[in-house]
């Protein structure tokens, strides 16, 4: 399905942010697994382990309310995130942008790529007339809180989860 976003977007001469494709999925799942908190939740040991991710990719990709992006350096995926654009009644019927599943490859950390990704997401949210950008981050990721605070996010809410 076509979204409304203006992509691909060059973050620098060699780094491009673009819509993810099905072919990016192994690299994206590897990024999810290459993470202190995601290692047990998202490791791939058998080929069939990819199937639930591919089904989720189809659901995201076919719904214009969701946008999964990757950041590539040459042919390497070095970052990913999902944006969702959610209608709601509160705050005078404001559309919200929600950012989920932000990952930057360990090789690309502290290079400014994460900052460029979130800055792009904020711009895209503004372009779609969202009144708010929201995300939750695990309280154990203290570096992430500082990172988002520097970008203007305020930790005003408790993020509560119930696993089923």
Binding residues (CB under 8 A) for its own copies: these are 28-29, 32, 38, 41-42, 49, 52-57, 59-60, 63, 65-66, 68, 82, 84, 86-95, 98, 100-101, 122, 125-126, 130-139, 145, 148-149, 151-164
Largest pairwise CA distance in the chain: 48
Residue 102 CB, nearest approach to its own copies (Å): 10
Residue 13 CB, nearest approach to its own copies (Å): 28
How many other C-beta atoms are found inside a 10 Å radius of the C-beta of residue 115?
Answer: 15
In a 13 Å sphere around the CA of 44, the CA atoms on its Cβ side amount to 18
- Of 78 and 82, which CB lies nearer to its own copies in the complex structure? 82
- Of 73 and 121, which CB lies nearer to its own copies in the complex structure? 121
DSSP conformation letters of 2-41? --S----EESSSSEEEEE--GGGHHHHHHHHHSSTTTTTT
Residue 148 CB, nearest approach to its own copies (Å): 5
DSSP letter at 75 equals T
- Of 6 and 160, which CB lies nearer to its own copies in the complex structure? 160
Residue 7 CB, nearest approach to its own copies (Å): 18
- Of 8 and 49, which CB lies nearer to its own copies in the complex structure? 49
CA distances for 109 relative to 40, 77, 115, 146, 164, angstroms: 21, 13, 10, 14, 33
């Amino acid at each position: 399905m076509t979204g409304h976003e203006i992509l691909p977007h060059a973050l620098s001469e060699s780094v491009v942010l673009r819509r993810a494709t099905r072919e990016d999925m192994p690299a994206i799942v590897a990024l999810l697994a290459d993470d202190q908190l995601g290692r047990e939740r998202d490791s791939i040991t058998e080929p069939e382990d990819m199937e639930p991710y591919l089904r989720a990719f189809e659901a995201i990709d076919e719904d214009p309310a969701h946008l999964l992006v990757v950041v590539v350096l040459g042919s390497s995926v070095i970052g990913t995130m999902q944006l969702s654009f959610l209608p709601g009644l509160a705050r005078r019927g404001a559309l919200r942008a929600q950012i989920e599943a932000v990952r930057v490859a360990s090789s690309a950390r502290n290079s400014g790529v994460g900052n460029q990704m979130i800055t792009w997401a904020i711009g895209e949210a503004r372009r779609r007339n969202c009144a708010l950008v929201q995300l939750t981050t695990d309280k154990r990721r203290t570096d992430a809180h500082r990172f988002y605070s520097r970008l203007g996010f305020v930790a005003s809410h408790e993020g509560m989860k119930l696993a089923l």
